[in-house]
Structure 1
């Protein structure tokens, strides 16, 4: 039996192409033949060809391809139901983004989230026959740095949507009740990051979406359902948290040498910090050099209880990182690695960056220790066995 991975080649910076090539190599190292199929014109025929040779399960990111059918009639059943192929959807995005990709009524589809809060939200709000699950993803990237570190600077690979521009657009929106809610919720999210980032920002949003508020927003947005309003609001607010981490980091480290890769930093370029260099991002497959500096990468996690691929890629390269997250390392790993995580409390990221600059080799060794603990708890072998177990469970439903 073979594993099939679906690939969407048109994402920004082509992350799926790189992730899938790494995952394919990892599975094949464990003795599992793996085939990558692009979602495009030839998808259906390639899948049928793979099916004729035997498929254990199909893996896709962000639910891409979940609604694929064999026929032009969009009302027909999906190809996964027709061919009885388990489709395992790995999600790094919150369910509010493209909620159609988080559908959960087919017995042949299972949703797996890389953050516990995302799985909790999906189980709470999206109708389903089978619960979504949380699985910490293993490190799948190769060590391309191979111990060669040089350059006394941090690297910050991050595209942003400038929160100032976002808030300005909301303040000028004609839908006043919605705009006011978005601005108040954004302020609450940013304030929580400044208090220690303990409460998940989606929980903050849900706590503010009282029945009265939801009714008001439904009326103004002319939406037919409460769920659509909830998803819309969560989607609009989701990146506020991550952009706030990114902006806070760059402002707090104005005197720290950083190479910043990505779009959206125009306002920060005008600050003209001699320590900051703004550069184009490029495809993920070509960015291994970003993990080879003495100080390592800075990372802004998409949720307070999650890690991010920048950090797991640094772990794979045995390099350094500081991540803006409150991922429960002490409980999940049985050891406290608090000095590798930062929040928005005064001086926190600046103090930790200074400690890295004073002893970069010691910090790198600490990051390597974290990586060892992480692999011991969330190995690639264990991940594959978990996927196989889910696949077997789907076939027995």
Structure 2
């Protein structure tokens, strides 16, 4: 049964974007590639070769992948060369070579296609493009950089192309992959050429990292659930905003948030938390629908999975009806679970069954799961079809 579910899981949607000129300035002693000449652009860059090293291991996992690629030299050509099936998104400008503006625009187009991860190839300048692309409504997009630039000050890159491949393969195997916000920094190339190193912070990107399952609180090699729940609750409490409405779902994990606030809650139902107080207890779907109509874009749902089964939606929390889920949106689902609960799934995805098959397919994919205090992993949810 487990293998059947795994075989029907929604493919991992990987976006791919390559800066073909990244790193070209290094051999020329230019300290960067922001202002390279057109003649230099015509040379084969090292970014393509480094991307090839990261992508080659994916050939054996094509059945688990749906690749959406930037066009032409920005990804399409390399994927065709490698024999990796893909769909092209976006188009280049008519200048004869790709630009930073192309990177930002096409990155946004890829993100709007609902990709689980954007794999980009470049240096700090390309990372800055990603910050610009995802600075507003797309700020939750998860990215991973393949390092190919001259100056690499940002913390959003894998150690090397092979390390990027390892992260991708672990995601495809539904392994435990940490999710963290990492800084994007860059230096002023003009000053750098004059011998002055001046690094500037430009923003942050969500980045998957392979971490070790080592708990700070242990009992015979296992998590102490009460302490981990307290850690999860402490993290959530730090995130609460007074003008937001939080739908606290069934289960001991969401209820731990109310316990942290010394508030009474409903263990098997939904309570509404606002401005530090429970304003409604044990509410039904119609109440939630009315709340969302009155306060659109101001509601978040805190939910957890059923232990052993792994059901995230459609079992015990049907108050999140298809209408409620559509009004909420995927990004406003806050999934809470201990790592013990996740590892007990034995690499199976979390399951959703909202009674709306099309909605279930739309919700499927990788999602952040809060597992402890400032400890988030990236894990798949699936409708099993």
TM-score band, normalised by shorter chain = under 0.3
Q: Which has the higher contact order (CA 8 A, sep 6+)?
A: 1
Q: Which has the higher strand share?
A: 2
TM-score (normalizing by structure 1) = 0.27
TM-score (normalizing by structure 2) = 0.28
